[in-house]
Amino acid sequence: MLPLPPKPSSLYRRWLPVLGVFVLALLLAAPSAGSGPVASLSRLSVPSPEPPQEQANEPSVPHLTDSVQLLPVRVEWPGYGAYTVPGLYSTRRVTHDVDLGRTVAMELAIAEPMLAQNSVGSSTTAPRIALTFDDGPSATYTPQLLDIFAQNSARCTFFVLGGLVSKHKQLIQRMEEEGHEVAIHSWWHANYTGLSDGAIASDLARCQRTLDPLVNRPVRWMRPPYGAVNSRVRNAITSAGYRVAMWTIDPRDWQNPGASAVVSRILKQAKNGSIVVMHDGGGNRAGTVAAMRILLPRLRERGFQIVTMSELHGLSEPPPAENGMILTIADERYRIEADFQDVRVMVDGNPVELAEPPVMVRDQFLVPARPVLRALGTDADWNPQELSVSFDGVRGRFTVKLNSLDVSLDDQELFVQVPSIYYHGTAMLPVWLMANACGATVQFDPATRTIEYTGRVQTDVRSRQAEGLMTLRTLDGVLVCDWMQGLCARPRSRGSSGPRTI
């Protein structure tokens, strides 16, 4: 009789230790992870994380934007009171990091005017002319006229309509602050010859009450609308305490004959003591504005002093004459001298018409950027929010911030020793900076008092570092500007690959 086979449970108990040892041996003999079936299965069932890769040690370049606030310069002048100096501004430049959403820097440039007693009241040789404007203020045309007069350091008289004053209070205040005279042209342009004496007195009183909170100096003059005046009207005006203001030159700008016609009509008749009537309100006055851009420099070329009605008649002292400024940037003071009206600029033998005469900073000339760059073959892009000028040079894109020492080439910072400035509404850049950027040469001829540019040089800029191409000399032969000292590079504070020589 054969023996019965063992029960399954007893077989498992007998072979289980043997199987366990066999499996353990297989596991110990398996190759390392990354090859073989065990490793493959393990990687598929429980994937292990990828080891972190080392990141390139390159800091990100911040996204920075600037915003600039213009701060008018006000002074107290004996005998004249508070006075806003036309065309001069301190600036507050705020740099904002767009990615971080916060302000990262602020730079102040403080302007202090260099003033002297104006000679208008005592001069007996220079001819004087009074330019006057009726029918304003206008939100469109009056601010443009104020800007033009500020750029030319000239003053005028505004005969305002009382009915418009309350709508344009800031313009009235700006007129007085910038040295202009405010006068009356009735409430709503009524013909005074058709009004009674009482109505005229009431109209004038209403205008005066509206002006009283806005002006500090006396309102002396009244111009009757249409120039309609007779002895009765004249007596009514003078009885109210005002002087009647008529005119000697009428270019009929209200007919819109064009800027050139307005300029021509005035220049043909202009003489010492002339009073010109024009308009800043009551219609389209774009032609009048355009004419003033041409007329004011032309009058000054002829030696005219452009004054207010009261200054013309010796009733008030003129405001002080501004002749430059002291600009303080980061505790460094820069003296801007402005007495260079006779210095001209030539590019390749051609004269360049300048909106503002050259100025000098630490024996280096600054000139208006736009016309000079255009003559050198490139256009200037104006950014009013950042108060900067950008242009393409032979080595890349330059950006120059005004009232600042900040200059960049293709977003790389450069080091300069003389600031570019915002002066009389004009971007003024060092002559050597524009010449060097555009691959040109520049010299100053003291005999002809001419800054002479020679156009773009088509050679390697770096090969010219040892040449004295960027030297200017003052009238007495003292070194004015050596471009090797005036313009060099510094590395960026973040993400720089090192210094850059230009």
> Which residues does the annotation mark as catalytic?
134, 279
- Which residue, among 155, 148, 202, has the nearest Cα to 320 in the 3D structure? 155
130: its two tokens: 């009074």
DSSP letter for 7, please.
Answer: P
- Peptide bond connecting 491 to the previous residue in cis, omega within 30 degrees of 0: no
- Which residue, among 162, 137, 154, 139, has the nearest Cα to 222 in the 3D structure? 162
SS in 3 state form for 28-54? HHCCCCCCHHHHHHHHHHCCCCCCCCC
Say what angle helices 259-269 and 286-301 make with each other, to 10 degrees. Answer: 40
The answer to whether the CB of 430 falls within 8 A of the CB of 364 is yes
Within 10 A of 289 (CB to CB), how many other CB atoms are there? 21
The answer to whether the CB of 435 falls within 8 A of the CB of 472 is no
The DSSP bridge pattern shows strands 181-184 and 157-160 to be: parallel
Q: How far apart are CA 502 and CA 439, in angstroms?
A: 11
Residue 195 amino acid letter: L
Ordered DSSP codes for 135-184: EE--TTTHHHHHHHHHHTT---EEEE-HHHHGGGHHHHHHHHHTT-EEEE
Q: Return the H-helix or E-strand segment holding 249.
A: none
Q: How far apart are CA 223 and CA 329, in angstroms?
A: 46
Spell out the residues 6+ positions from residue 204 whose beta carbon is closer than 8 angstroms to its own: 184, 222, 237, 240, 242
Bridge partners (DSSP) listed for residue 352? 345
- Which residue, among 200, 279, 280, has the nearest Cα to 233 in the 3D structure? 200
Return left, alpha or beta for 68; rule: phi > 0 is left, psi -120 to 50 is alpha, else beta.
beta
In degrees rounded to 5, what are phi and psi of residue 218? -65, 145
The answer to whether the CB of 409 falls within 8 A of the CB of 415 is no
Query: DSSP H helical segments within 178-258, as ranges?
Result: 197-211, 231-239
Residues in the chain: 502
